[in-house]
């Protein structure tokens, strides 16, 4: 195949044209639909950002309200779904549970499968925007052994998610603005990141005209891996291991640099960002603020800062332009909010949901062809079949 260009990992291949997210890896710029991530993280809320990503413009008050009402009207998840959740052992990894439940949702919402018109797409989008947080909350509640619950229509989108996750049967739910704002900001920072592994997965699965929910379920599986969204869990486990090791960051630095050791400094490096990850900058500051506001002193934050400082001054990391990425500090905030480590990547999925939806919708509206990469064959030439007793 002389005509075929080989590009493992698609390092230099543009797979689509997109009007959703702009990313400049040299300058550390990230914009959703033209708005800078710094400004959105500070001024917008997650539901507005979701609307912006999916439909292209910031909603006015009426549009935002209508979107929220449509979501609330779809916030039930079929009771039969609880049986599926029930069948999982408590020890199941929440990402596996979430992707299975998202897939199972198709059976209960067949109307969301074959959507082609903008109106049908809208229906599928509000259904998943409504039901996905319920699945996330159920996944956590199953882990914790708490009774399953539904949302509260009186609350904002993110506050409702928080309540669904943490409401205890015997207690009133108390609103904590610091916690909700921190969660809202983290979700915004994760909401889209152009053609990353999980988003490309969503687009390629969707390109076969599999439905939105099936595409999302595949995206969740892609996100799970430690080189992608799973890095946030891996970072915290690494920081905990360093803490248990008496704070010996040098040892882990040496391991990360050792080419004979598969260990990598988790939360470091990025395919596109080569000077800094703008999300990491915001999250580092937020981590310090949130822990301060909540009066939490977490030794892990000091270890993380120390490790980052060492790496940023180390020749190995400098030469390869490796900087802390979005996953480096996020887990410290999740932990401060009482979210178990195994749930971190689920929180990433919750934030990425509008991005995946926006990318899927764009791909379908542009009638993109089925995704089908080529290859360069390096196997055997033609050879005759050999009967089993002659091998
Ligand atoms: N620790 C040690 N060495 C590293 C690291 C790291 N975290 N990241 C990259 N390198 C080295 C790598 O070994 C290679 O060295 P050499 O040139 O000597 O062979 C060089 O840097 C280039 O790395 P690469 O693997 O070719 O780069 P990539 O673009 O294929 O991979 C990455 C990008 C993010 C998968 C990688 O940096 C990595 O594995 N990082 C750790 C996992 C992580 O934090 N992932 C989260 C990514 S950000 C958001 C998200 O997707 O969740």
pLDDT in tens, 221-239: 999 999 999 999 999 999 9
The DSSP bridge pattern shows strands 29-32 and 35-36 to be antiparallel
Confidence of residue 2 (pLDDT cuts 50, 70, 90): low
* Local structure of 24: helix, strand or coil: strand
Same CATH topology for 20-226+341-365 and 231-336: the answer is no
Nearest-angstrom CA–CA distance, 55 and 361: 9
Which of 349, 101, 140 has the alpha carbon at shortest distance from 224?
349
Q: What is the pLDDT of residues 107-130, one digit of tens each?
A: 999 988 889 999 999 999 999 999
Residue whose Cα lies nearest atom 30 of ligand 1: it is 271
pLDDT higher than threshold 80 for residue 333? yes
Distance 97 CA to ligand 1 centre (A): 27
The catalytic residue among 245, 270, 298, 389 is 270
At 73 the pLDDT is: 97
Which atom of ligand 1 lies closest to the CA of 269?
37
Nearest CA to ligand 1 atom 3: 264
Give the pLDDT confidence score for residue 114 in this predicted structure: 87
Instruction: Indicate if the pLDDT at residue 7 is higher than 90.
Output: yes
Q: What is the mean pLDDT of residues 5-24?
A: 96
Q: What is the pLDDT of residue 321?
A: 95
- Is 164 within 8 Å of 137 (Cβ atoms)? yes
Which tokens belong to 146? 């708490």
pLDDT category of residue 353 using cuts at 50, 70 and 90: very high
Which tokens hold the place of 249?
A: 């960051």
3-state class (DSSP) for residue 386: coil
Q: How far apart are CA 48 and CA 376, in angstroms?
A: 44
pLDDT band at 3 (very low <50, low <70, confident <90, very high): confident
Identify which of 333, 92, 90 has the alpha carbon closest to the alpha carbon of residue 232: 333
Structure tokens at 192: 């889209």
Q: Give residue for tokens 């996020």.
A: 330
pLDDT at 28 over 80: yes
Please indicate whether residue 76 is annotated as part of the active site: no
Residue with CA nearest ligand 1 atom 39: 227
Task: Please name the fold of domain 20-226+341-365.
Answer: Citrate Synthase; domain 1 (1.10.580)
Question: What is the rounded distance in angstroms from the CA atom of residue 193 to the CA atom of residue 159?
Answer: 24
Ligand 1-lining residues (CB < 6 angstroms): 9, 196, 227-229, 231, 256, 264-271, 320, 322, 325-327
Helix, strand, coil: what percent of the chain each, to 5? Answer: 60, 5, 40
User: b/e per residue, 36-71, with b = 16+ CB within 10 A?
Assistant: ebeebbeebbbbbbbbbbbbeebbeeeebeebbebb
Question: What's the mean pLDDT when you consider all of the chain?
Answer: 96
Three-state SS annotation for 76-106: CCCCCHHHHHHHCCCCCCHHHHHHHHHHHHH
The domains of the chain are located at 20-226+341-365, 231-336
Looking at residues 282-287, what average pLDDT do you find? 96
* ipTM for the complex shown: 0.97
pLDDT of residue 144: 94
Q: How far is the CA of 268 from the centre of ligand 1 (A)?
A: 7
pLDDT of residue 1 exceeding 60: no
Q: How far apart are CA 216 and CA 194, in angstroms?
A: 15
Q: How far is CA 301 from the centre of its chain?
A: 22
Q: Residue 138 contacts by C-beta under 8 Å, 6 or more apart in sequence?
A: 77, 82, 85, 101, 148
Stretch 84-92: mean pLDDT: 96
CATH assignment, 231-336: 1.10.230.10
Q: How confident is the model at residue 36 (pLDDT cuts 50, 70, 90)?
A: very high
The encoded tokens of residue 151 equal 């949302």
Question: DSSP per residue over 209-249, as a string?
Answer: T--HHHHHHHHHHHHHSTTTTTHHHHHHHHHHHHHHTTS-H
Atom of ligand 1 nearest to the CA of 328: 44
pLDDT (tens digit per residue) in 125-169: 999 999 999 999 999 999 999 999 899 999 999 999 999 999 999
For CA atoms 125, 127, 128, 133, the dihedral sign is positive
pLDDT score recorded for residue 112: 83
pLDDT of residue 294: 95
Q: What is the mean pLDDT of residues 306-334?
A: 95
Helix and strand numbers (H, E) in the chain are 17, 3
Residue 153 known to be catalytic: no
User: Could you tell me the distance, in angstroms and rounded to a whole number, from the CA of residue 180 to the centre of ligand 1?
Assistant: 32
Confidence of residue 258 (pLDDT cuts 50, 70, 90): very high
> pTM of the prediction?
0.97
């Amino acid at each position: 195949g002389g005509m075929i260009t080989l590009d493992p990992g698609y390092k230099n291949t543009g797979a689509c044209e997109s009007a959703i997210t702009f990313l400049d890896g040299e300058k550390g710029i990230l914009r959703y639909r033209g708005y800078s991530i710094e400004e959105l993280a500070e001024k917008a809320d997650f539901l507005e950002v979701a609307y912006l990503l999916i439909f292209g413009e910031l909603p006015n008050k009426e549009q935002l309200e209508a979107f929220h009402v449509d979501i609330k009207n779809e916030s039930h998840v079929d009771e039969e779904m609880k049986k599926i959740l029930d069948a999982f052992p408590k020890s199941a990894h929440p990402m596996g549970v979430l992707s299975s439940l998202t897939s199972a949702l198709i059976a209960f919402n067949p109307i969301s499968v074959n959507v082609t018109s903008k109106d049908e797409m809208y229906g599928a989008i509000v259904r998943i925007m409504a039901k996905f947080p319920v699945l996330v909350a159920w996944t956590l509640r199953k882990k914790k052994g708490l009774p399953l619950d539904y949302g509260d229509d009186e609350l904002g989108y993110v506050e409702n998610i928080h309540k669904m996750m943490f409401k205890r049967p015997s207690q009133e739910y108390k609103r904590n603005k610091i916690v909700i704002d921190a969660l809202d900001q983290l979700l915004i920072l994760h909401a889209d990141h152009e053609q990353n592994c999980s988003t490309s997965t969503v687009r390629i699965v969707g390109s076969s005209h599999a439905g939105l929910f099936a595409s999302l379920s595949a995206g969740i599986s892609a996100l799970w891996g430690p080189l992608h969204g799973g890095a946030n869990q891996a970072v915290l486990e690494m920081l905990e291991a360093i803490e248990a090791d008496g704070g010996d960051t040098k040892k882990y630095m040496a391991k990360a640099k050792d080419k004979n050791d598969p260990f990598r400094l988790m939360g470091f490096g990025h395919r596109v960002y080569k000077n800094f990850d703008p999300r990491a900058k915001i999250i580092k500051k937020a981590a310090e603020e949130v822990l301060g506001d909540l009066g939490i002193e977490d030794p892990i934050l000091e270890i993380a800062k120390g490790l980052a400082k060492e790496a940023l001054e180390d020749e190995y990391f400098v030469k390869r332009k490796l900087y802390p990425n979005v996953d480096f500090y996020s887990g410290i905030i999740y932990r401060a909010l009482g979210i178990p480590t195994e749930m971190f990547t689920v929180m990433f999925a919750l934030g990425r949901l509008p991005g995946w939806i926006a990318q899927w919708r764009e791909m379908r509206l542009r009638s993109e062809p089925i995704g089908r990469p080529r290859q360069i064959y390096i196997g055997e030439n033609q050879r005759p079949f050999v009967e089993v007793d002659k091998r």
